[in-house]
Amino acid sequence: MKNIQLLGLLLVVAGSFLPLVHVPIIGNWNYWKLDHYLAIACWIFAACAVFGIVNNSAKIVRFFGVLLILLFAFTLVAVKMQSLEYFSFLPFKSWREAFAGVVKLRWGWIVEFLGAFLMVFATGNKKVNKRTQI
């Protein structure tokens, strides 16, 4: 269980440096270029999950894994809303949606979500004493 959770944690931390959003002229952005505060929150949640992994507390790891999933979902919604807002000066809604559509999500999100889901759904095998007393 610890190894799978550590792998998930490693994927989350490494995923924050992978390309998450592609803006055509500017290039690829990772979590640090998207927003520093969200990246710091991601790393704080990851550090708290390390505390849970080290202390063998699956509840803490799951809790912070769920918080990471919620943070990633919030970031995805915020990126889409911000791209629509960025082109709000255009007079027609169809133009805004077309220009906002050029901001594409990249493959780094798969790594981020995979790591968080590994942290949440990693289950430990509990050893049960099969000896019975007569």
Bridge-based pairing state of the strands 104-105 and 27-29: unpaired
Alpha-helical regions (H) of the chain = 2-15, 31-34, 36-54, 58-86, 93-100, 108-121
Looking at residue 70, its pLDDT comes to: 96
Averages of pLDDT over runs of 10 residues in the chain (134 residues) are 89 92 83 90 94 91 95 92 77 78 86 94 65 64
**Per-residue tokens: 46:** 């990851």
Looking at residue 45, its pLDDT comes to: 95
In contact, 49 and 9? CB cutoff 8 Å = yes
CA distance 56 to 53: 5
Looking at residue 75, its pLDDT comes to: 93
**Per-residue tokens: 18:** 């992978």
- Domain residue ranges of the chain, discontinuous segments joined by +: 2-123
Looking at residue 13, its pLDDT comes to: 93
Q: What is the dihedral of CA 44, 73, 106, 115, to 10 degrees?
A: 50
H/E run at residue 124: none
